[in-house]
Chain A
Amino acid sequence: MRQTSLRLRAGIVSLSILLVFGLAWHIGVSGSGPAQQMDPEYAKLMGQTAVQGKSAMPGPLDVLAKIWSHLKEPFYDRGPNDKGIGIQLAYSIGRVLLGYGLAMLVALPLGFLIGMSPLMARALDPFIQIMKPVSPLAWMPLALYTIKDSSISSIFVIFICSLWPMLINTAFGVSSVRKEWLNVARTLEVGPIRRAFTVILPAAAPTIVTGMRISIGIAWLVIVAAEMLVGGTGIGYFVWNEWNNLSITNVITSILVIGLVGMILDQALARVARAVSFPE
């Protein structure tokens, strides 16, 4: 009872914040009427900002209308510079999932190796420590030069930025599996492969998934910047292209959409995290 009422109250507060914000936005950008009389020809040249005192910033209703138009037709394709927001998103999500998946294929086995072997942990530590703080975009020129394909280069950048959190968390999770659980496996004469899958993996899974959740967040942050840089397709390119078109409405729309997709990706991994967690 208390729980639902708290939820309800929080919902009401959220909604009021949204309304107040929307109203302030609306009032802030709406014009104050015709500023001054001027020659109609001159007024045409000056645009609405000068004529009606209207801000160049779109209002919330403009954005809503834009979102509606995108929703009506998300996948249209009218040439390289005019594709629906759905297509652009699909490109971005595809690149993120590809780069992220490749990073998983490398980080999980390598993390296992580092976690299980103190020698490898020490030997690889300096490389990881130096590579980890490098902004993934710094890899972009090198990727473009060697791969010679802008789309694959952005996938590579996603790969690099997703790698470290997964690698470090997997290694940490594996190395901190409780000794007593390993001893149980040893006294039961469980072989190394079966031990890895039945004891180490489930014991380390919550830590590994935490790393995966950090990675997907970073990957989604980085893809926008990477696509702005390489251009062509993708939501990052879309934002930059709309900025060049001076369509602030579309820029704001993209911000909302990027946030929404990021939230969905994060929630998906939160679900995985709940599935593999265990109370002690």
Chain B
Amino acid sequence: MSARFISIEGITRRFQAPDGGQTTVFEDIWFAIARGEFVCMIGHSGCGKTTVLNILSGLDLPDDGAAIVDGKAIEGPSLDRAVIFQSHALLPWRTVLGNVAYAISSRWPKWSRSQVEEQAKRFIEKVGLKGAEAKKPAQLSGGMKQRVGIARALSIEPKILLMDEPFSALDALTRGTLQDEVRRICLETGQTVFMITHDVDEAIYLADKIVLMTNGPEAMVAEIVENPLPKERDRNQIHRHPAFYAIRNHLIDFLVSRSKTFKSEIPADYDRRKPPVILPQSQPQPLPPSHEAGRKVA
């Protein structure tokens, strides 16, 4: 059961096209996430990554299929699943403390004010914003705003953390620090995370598994890449790991060419319900960048 804590079962999403017809963003997608796993989804713009995340958060519903969490189909938003939005989505008329407290008092409506504040302060401190509690979002830098967004999401102690390109609007330095902190916090608490990104290095650094989406419309899951790097990884050392370039080349190769061509050359044994799981292995030669670089393990 724990291997399928989150189970995406054959979801399809169609949107009304401007000409009156229907566009199928993605069709019949299957994959699963185990408890405590950090899964990234990679794909080009328009492949429906955000829609998959919205379905997981309950903000959107699939036209077919179901997203199942802990044995129950998702029918709407839930406090069990916290979302970190790309645009941080803080309420600008509330202070940092107020924004986090709003989430906490939604989660535990019976808590007293002091209980709520205590919990809020704990998480604000956890993301390194101690001292900024009384500031309004407009007084914060982009990185600090996103830290508040992270504190707000974590403070309700969700079963699942959903992140929609949370660091894409930040500068490289801030992005790095925030990645480190999110990784540390998630490892500490054994948080189950589903994150969307189009940054290959971010995915390699953070994820246990990476779901690759082909280009939309009618996008599909091409394969699931297992991260060969050890769970304990150091941002400054991972590029020395023998498998680092194998997985990096594999991902880049997919994004550059195979995401386009995958649908026209679907392998004979491809099964939508069980997308192939690839474990990229270290190669003796530096650059043989093709899908042979990975060895099928399932």
Cβ contacts A254-280/B at 8 Å (1 or 0 each): 000000000000000000000000111
* B85 contact set on A, CB distance < 8 A: 180, 183-184
> Closest residue to A185 on the B side, CB-wise?
B106
- Whether A189 contacts B89 by the Cβ 8 Å rule is no
**What is the bound-complex CA distance between A183 and B103, given in angstroms?**
12
Contact string against B for A residues 185-212, beta-carbon threshold 8 Å, 1 for contact and 0 otherwise: 0111110000000110011000000000
Q: Contact check, A186 vs B89: say whether CB atoms are below 8 A apart.
A: no
Contact, CB under 8 Å: A189 / B91? no
Could you mark each residue 65-109 of chain A with 1 if its beta carbon is under 8 Å from any beta carbon of chain B, else 0? 000000000000000000000000000000000000000000000
Interface string of B51-86 (1 = CB under 8 A from A): 000000111000000000000000011110111010
Contact A188/B91 with A183-B85, A279-B136, A279-B138 known, Cβ cut-off 8 Å: no
**Whole-angstrom distance between the Cβ of B31 and the nearest chain A Cβ:** 22
Closest A residue by C-beta to B104:
A188
CB-based contact A190/B138 at 8 Å: no
A243 within 8 Å of B by Cβ? no
Q: Which residues of B contact A184 (CB under 8 A)?
A: 85, 89, 91
The verdict on B87 contacting chain A, using a C-beta distance below 8 Å, is: yes
Size of the A side of the interface (Cβ < 8 Å), in residues, is: 16
B77 touches A202 (CB 8 A): no
In the docked arrangement, what's the CA distance between A203 and B93, Å?
Answer: 8
Q: CA separation between A198 and B93, bound complex, in Å?
A: 10
- A interface footprint on B80-113 (CB within 8 Å = 1, 0 otherwise): 0111010101011100000000110011000000
Encode contact with A along B185-208: 1 for CB under 8 Å, 0 otherwise: 000000000000000000000000
| A188 with B89: CB separation less than 8 A | no
A residues in contact with B138, CB < 8 Å: 278-280
- Separation of A189 and B78 alpha carbons in the complex (Å): 6
The answer, yes or no, to whether B156 is at the interface (CB within 8 Å) is yes
Q: Find residues 43-57 in chain B having any chain A CB closer than 8 Å to their own CB.
A: 57
| Interface residue from A186, A187, A199, A279 paired with B91 (Cβ < 8 Å) | A199
Find the B residue at minimum CB distance from A188. Answer: B106
Q: Which residue of B has the minimal Cβ distance to A278?
A: B93
Interface of B is mostly: loop
Q: How far is the CA of A186 from the CA of B81 in the complex (A)?
A: 11
Q: Which residues of A contact B103 (CB under 8 A)?
A: 188
- Complex: A198 Cα to B106 Cα, angstroms: 11
Q: Are A181 and B89 CB-contacts (below 8 A) given A187-B57, A188-B102, A189-B106?
A: yes
Partner of A187, one of B81, B87, B92: B81
A188: chain B residues at CB < 8 Å are 77, 79, 102-103, 106-107, 156
A187 touches B77 (CB 8 A): yes
Chain A's nearest CB lies how many Å from the CB of B167? 17
Are B93 and A187 within 8 A (Cβ)?
A: no
Residue A189 contacts which of B79, B102, B136 (CB distance < 8 angstroms)? Answer: B79
CA distance A202 to B58 in the complex (A): 25
Output the least CB separation between B51 and chain A (Å). Answer: 14
**Contact, CB under 8 Å: B81 / A202:** no
List 20 additional A-B contacts (Cβ < 8 Å) besides A181-B89, A183-B83, A278-B92. Answer: A180-B85, A180-B87, A180-B89, A183-B59, A186-B58, A186-B59, A187-B79, A187-B81, A187-B82, A187-B83, A188-B77, A188-B102, A188-B103, A188-B106, A189-B78, A189-B79, A199-B91, A202-B93, A278-B138, A279-B92
Q: Which residues of B contact A (CB under 8 A)?
A: 57-59, 76-79, 81-83, 85, 87, 89, 91-93, 102-103, 106-107, 136-138, 156
3 closest Cβ pairs, A-B complex:
A279-B138, A180-B89, A188-B106
A and B contact pairs by CB, cutoff 8 A, 27 listed: A180-B85, A180-B87, A183-B83, A183-B89, A184-B85, A184-B91, A186-B58, A186-B76, A187-B57, A187-B59, A187-B81, A187-B83, A188-B77, A188-B102, A188-B106, A188-B156, A189-B77, A189-B78, A189-B79, A199-B91, A202-B91, A202-B93, A203-B93, A278-B92, A278-B136, A278-B138, A279-B92
